[in-house]
Amino acid sequence: MKKLLSVLLTLTLVGSLCIGCSKAPEDNGSTSETKTSKSDSDKDGTTLTFVQHMSGVITDELQAVLDEFKAETGITVELSSPGSDIEEVMKTRMASNTLPDLWTTHGWSVARYGEYLRPMNDQAFVEHIVPSIKDLITGPDGNIYVLPIDADICGISYNATVLEEAGVDPESILTWEDFEVACEKIKAIGKVPLFFDGKDPLAFGQFFDFVAPTLYTNDEENNQREQFLDGSFDWEKWREVCEILERWTANGYLNTDALTADYMTACQSLGSGDAAFMLRNANVIVEAWTTNPDAKLGILPIPGKDSDNSRCVIGGERLAVGVWKDSPYIEEALQLIEYLSQPEVCSRLATVAGMPAGLDTAESDTGKLEPYYERVMSDDILTIPYFDREYLPSGMWDDLCVTGASIVAGNEGAIDDTIDQMRQSYEDKMAQK
């Protein structure tokens, strides 16, 4: 009897071990099986990570689209919006090569993120990218790394009612001298000429992106393009753009809380008529209309250095989405790209952003902004790239933001310190290329 019991116990133990061996391992996120794309029947368990840089109504609309994508496909998309911290977030994740499955490239799909992104040349939407954005998102190897949902056309956003009250004709602002004359008239009626939302330092970086090209790179006969690109630029010349920001601050053209005001406060000020100008793209106008739908708002071309230089607008990436080349869910991520590129989805997101669509299959209803876009995209207005993206090494955006804030703060020796910091940062980053 004891021998029989011993045999039975042994058989029971062996059977239990066999059953345990036949069970599929739990998906705890650490096994190699989790790094393969799932079949259509098993996608309900897939979660994509998506980091984006925008704020406001466009973020809400993007989240709604992602929720609809999940309802249709069963694929969850976790949207993260770190705002002004996105630069540091992405630098950290690039350094550790632990990137999100998808992210918005905010102007850097080629120069900064190209080596981390899966080329999109085999995707159907590529042949429908509008000409105004296509060259800007094409690398020297011919690869396109992102889906451009909208095409960023960036000029000076303004409140037409304030300009009218001050006796300023926006079409008369052809040079920076004209702009300063307009600011004096606006200040005289008790309004803020130029609103900076400096809680996010990018407001100061935007100043340099707007003004620097008009001084250094737009002039066909006397420009510093090659000097910026080959490392020979004389940074003492940077004093000219710094002195403009210092002068505007000293003359009282900026809001008194320029260093601490946030983005939504800026949009509300523009919409309410407390402020006249913002150095931002038309998304601030869309946000302003959410607080005052009747506000008369428009887009002004960026003035030239003098009467010999044309006005311009800035073109580039904004809502442009790429896929990490090492994503564990490439197939699902590309499925989301295909979904976002559908004409009705692309049109919807571009419309909410207040931007022209990035694909010719989509139509953005820019509504009251349409005549302004037609004007600033006309032949007599230059379209230029963002200055820092085209002429400065990757990583110098932070220097623009920090030094601009220092000048506005009125720190002693701020311009000299700015020149030193820009020179040193530029030389260090050029040496690392």
> CA 259: distance to chain centroid?
21
pLDDT at 385: 87
State the pairing for strand pair 382-385/146-148: unpaired
- Listed in sequence order, the residues at least 6 apart from 398 whose beta carbon sits closer than 8 Å to its beta carbon are 87
The H or E element that residue 224 is part of is: none
Confidence band (pLDDT; 50, 70, 90) for 27? Answer: very low
Confidence band (pLDDT; 50, 70, 90) for 161? Answer: very high
| Dihedral Cα 23, 24, 26, 31, nearest 10 deg | 140
Q: In whole angstroms, what is the distance from residue 81 CA to residue 103 CA?
A: 10
pLDDT at 379: 66
Judged against a pLDDT cut of 80, whether residue 24 lies above it is answered with no
Judged against a pLDDT cut of 90, whether residue 37 lies above it is answered with no
- Whether residue 327 contacts residue 93, with contact meaning beta carbons closer than 8 Å, is answered with no
> CA 387: distance to chain centroid?
14
pLDDT at 334: 98
Q: What percent of the chain has pLDDT over 90?
A: 69
pLDDT at 43: 54
Confidence band (pLDDT; 50, 70, 90) for 365? Answer: confident
Judged against a pLDDT cut of 60, whether residue 33 lies above it is answered with no
Judged against a pLDDT cut of 90, whether residue 54 lies above it is answered with no
Region of residue 252 (phi > 0: left; psi between -120 and 50: alpha; otherwise: beta): left
pLDDT at 5: 40
pLDDT (tens digit per residue) in 381-393: 888 889 998 999 9
pLDDT (tens digit per residue) in 84-97: 788 889 989 999 99
Look at residues 150, 68, 40 and name the one whose alpha carbon lies nearest to residue 339.
68
Fold of the 153-314+372-431 domain? D-Maltodextrin-Binding Protein; domain 2 (3.40.190)
Judged against a pLDDT cut of 60, whether residue 358 lies above it is answered with yes
Q: What percent of the chain has pLDDT over 70?
A: 89
Annotate 292-353 with DSSP letters as a single string: -TT--EEEEPBPBSSTTS--EEEEE-SSEEEEBTT-TTHHHHHHHHHHHTSHHHHHHHHHHH
pLDDT at 13: 36
Q: In whole angstroms, what is the distance from residue 333 CA to residue 77 CA?
A: 9
Confidence band (pLDDT; 50, 70, 90) for 16? Answer: very low
Judged against a pLDDT cut of 50, whether residue 22 lies above it is answered with no
pLDDT at 10: 42
Domain with CATH 3.40.190.10 in the chain: 44-152+317-366, 153-314+372-431
> Which has more pLDDT, 130 or 238?
238
pLDDT (tens digit per residue) in 208-218: 999 999 999 99
In this prediction, residues 58-79 reach a mean pLDDT of: 96
Average pLDDT of the chain is 88
Q: Which residues pair with 324 in a beta bridge?
A: 117
pLDDT at 19: 36
Confidence band (pLDDT; 50, 70, 90) for 282? Answer: confident
Query: Rounded to two decimals, what is the model's pTM?
Result: 0.75
pLDDT at 316: 81
Confidence band (pLDDT; 50, 70, 90) for 242? Answer: very high
Asked: is 44-152+317-366 a CATH 3.40.190.10 domain? The reply is yes
- Whether residue 270 contacts residue 186, with contact meaning beta carbons closer than 8 Å, is answered with no
- Listed in sequence order, the residues at least 6 apart from 29 whose beta carbon sits closer than 8 Å to its beta carbon are none
pLDDT at 381: 87
Q: In whole angstroms, what is the distance from residue 276 CA to residue 195 CA?
A: 8
pLDDT at 106: 83
- Listed in sequence order, the residues at least 6 apart from 421 whose beta carbon sits closer than 8 Å to its beta carbon are 399, 402, 403
**Helix orientation angle between 343-353 and 330-340, rounded to the nearest 10 degrees:** 70
In this prediction, residues 61-73 reach a mean pLDDT of: 97
pLDDT at 173: 97
> Which has more pLDDT, 211 or 20?
211
